[in-house]
Amino acid sequence: MPMEPKESESDTAADAFVCINCDSPSSSIYQEYSKDVIRITECKKCGEIVDKYVEYDIVLVIMDLTLQYISAYRHLLINTKFKLLNDPVFGQTFASP
Ligand SMILES: [Zn+2]
> What is the distance in A from the centroid of ligand 1 to the CA of 89?
33
Q: Would you say 20 and 71 are in contact if contact means Cβ atoms under 8 Å apart?
A: yes
Q: Would you call 50 exposed, middle or buried from its count of C-beta atoms within 10 A (0-12, 13-18, 19+)?
A: buried
> What is the distance in A from the centroid of ligand 1 to the CA of 12?
16
**What is the per-residue pLDDT across 28-61, written as a single tens digit (0 to 9) for each?**
999 999 988 999 999 999 999 999 999 999 999 9
> What is the distance in A from the centroid of ligand 1 to the CA of 35?
27
> What is the distance in A from the centroid of ligand 1 to the CA of 31?
17
DSSP conformation letters of 42-82 = BPTTT-SBS-GGGGS-HHHHHHHHHTT-HHHHHIIIIIS--
> What is the distance in A from the centroid of ligand 1 to the CA of 62?
22
Confidence of residue 67 (pLDDT cuts 50, 70, 90): very high
Q: How much is the average pLDDT of 74-81? A: 90
Q: Would you say 14 and 7 are in contact if contact means Cβ atoms under 8 Å apart?
A: no
> What is the distance in A from the centroid of ligand 1 to the CA of 8?
16
